């Protein structure tokens, strides 16, 4: 692209060295990203598979209203414990992965549940079809109620308004969690295990219903994964994670990542501290 458009010739080695210098210069920003995440009132978290040469890892994304940060590590509670520890007191939006359950102020993504319910509704098993349809119908009704409550706050909490419907559905989940149809039993068990996190939004209707914020933040890098098949070394993995964190955070703040990275590299070459992440620029 540089050659075709600007007549600039760069070797693969030069490009690789530039990436590694940029990543090394920006590495101190990991602490600033971590602090922003800990201080956030609402944190979206998601993960997707990632290869580091022959090692199977996971690309994690942590997205707030101010930063989007990435780490590549194993799929375990260790990263969450090291990053969030006991200092995170905000709301955590996630999917149903069990490592998130230790956080009491948690929200569950309803999009995942709706997809699973639709899958059951399309099953050949009649019990699965019924359970899937009833799950989908209940969530659809509650989504409408939550959206309405955001405009006109109700006099009583939605959890109380729909208490009977929720009780009947909970009883169905209890019956279905031992069903011979594995996916039916799995969804029923998931609903029961995450009951509070799933229906928390009924008492907090201003909170999001989905984890689309985190899923969108992963989309471009999932496409890149299909092109480059991941990273090749531990150092390359860290460089990749910090650079995409800087790029996405600058874009979220309406700032140019390239101008900021140029400042980071210049500071590193001069032996100066890395400049703080740029402030949010209000769009005109």
Which comes out higher in pLDDT, residue 78 or 191? Answer: 191
Q: What is the pLDDT of residue 2?
A: 82
Average pLDDT for residues 212-227, to the nearest whole number? Answer: 94
Q: Are 223 and 38 in contact (CB under 8 A)?
A: no
> What phi and psi, each to the nearest 5 degrees, are found at residue 52?
-115, 95
Range in 76-80, 125-129, 131-135, 141-145 with the lowest mean pLDDT: 76-80
pTM: 0.91
Instruction: Kindly state the tokens that stand for 45.
Output: 């978290």
Q: What is the pLDDT of residue 137?
A: 97
What is the tally of helices (H) and strands (E) in the chain? 13, 5
Those residues whose C-beta lies under 8 Å from the C-beta of residue 241, and which sit 6 or more positions away, are 59, 70, 71, 72
Q: What is the pLDDT of residue 92?
A: 96
> What phi and psi, each to the nearest 5 degrees, are found at residue 262?
-60, -40
Average pLDDT for residues 96-107, to the nearest whole number? Answer: 90
**Average pLDDT score, the chain:** 94
Q: What is the pLDDT of residue 87?
A: 85
Instruction: Kindly state the tokens that stand for 2.
Output: 């540089």
Average pLDDT for residues 72-79, to the nearest whole number? Answer: 89
Average pLDDT for residues 12-19, to the nearest whole number? Answer: 90
Q: Are 40 and 66 in contact (CB under 8 A)?
A: yes
Q: Are 109 and 194 in contact (CB under 8 A)?
A: no
Average pLDDT for residues 252-263, to the nearest whole number? Answer: 95
Percent over 90 (pLDDT), the chain: 86
User: Which of 40, 151, 160 lies closest to 103, judged by CA?
Assistant: 40
Range in 11-15, 119-123, 167-171, 240-244 with the lowest mean pLDDT: 11-15
User: pLDDT class for 27, splitting at 50, 70, 90?
Assistant: very high
User: Which of 70, 69, 63 lies closest to 91, judged by CA?
Assistant: 63
């Amino acid at each position: 692209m540089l050659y075709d458009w600007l007549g600039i010739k760069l070797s693969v080695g030069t490009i690789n060295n530039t990436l590694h210098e940029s990543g090394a210069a920006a590495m101190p920003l990991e602490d600033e990203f971590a602090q922003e995440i800990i201080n956030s009132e609402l944190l979206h978290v998601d993960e997707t598979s990632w290869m580091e040469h022959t090692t199977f890892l996971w690309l994690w994304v942590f997205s707030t209203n101010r930063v989007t940060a990435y780490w590549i590590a194993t799929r375990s509670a260790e990263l969450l414990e090291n990053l969030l520890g006991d200092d995170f007191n905000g709301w955590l939006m996630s999917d149903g992965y069990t490592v998130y359950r230790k956080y009491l102020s948690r929200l569950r993504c309803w999009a995942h549940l709706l997809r699973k319910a639709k899958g059951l509704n399309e099953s050949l098993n009649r019990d699965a079809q019924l359970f899937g349809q009833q799950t989908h119908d209940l969530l659809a009704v509650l989504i409408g109620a939550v959206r309405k409550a955001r405009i006109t706050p109700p006099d009583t909490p939605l959890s109380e308004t729909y208490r009977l419907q929720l009780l009947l559905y909970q009883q169905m989940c209890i019956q279905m969690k031992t069903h011979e149809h594995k996916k039916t039993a799995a969804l029923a068990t998931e609903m029961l295990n995450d009951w509070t996190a799933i229906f928390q939004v009924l008492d907090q209707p201003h909170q999001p219903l989905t984890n689309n914020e985190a899923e969108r933040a992963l989309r471009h890098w999932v496409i890149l994964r299909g092109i480059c098949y991941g990273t090749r070394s531990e150092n390359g993995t860290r460089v990749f994670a910090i650079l995409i964190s800087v790029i996405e955070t600058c874009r979220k703040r309406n700032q140019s990542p390239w101008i900021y990275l140029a400042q980071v590299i210049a500071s590193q070459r001069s032996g100066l501290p890395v400049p703080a992440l740029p402030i949010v620029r209000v769009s005109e």
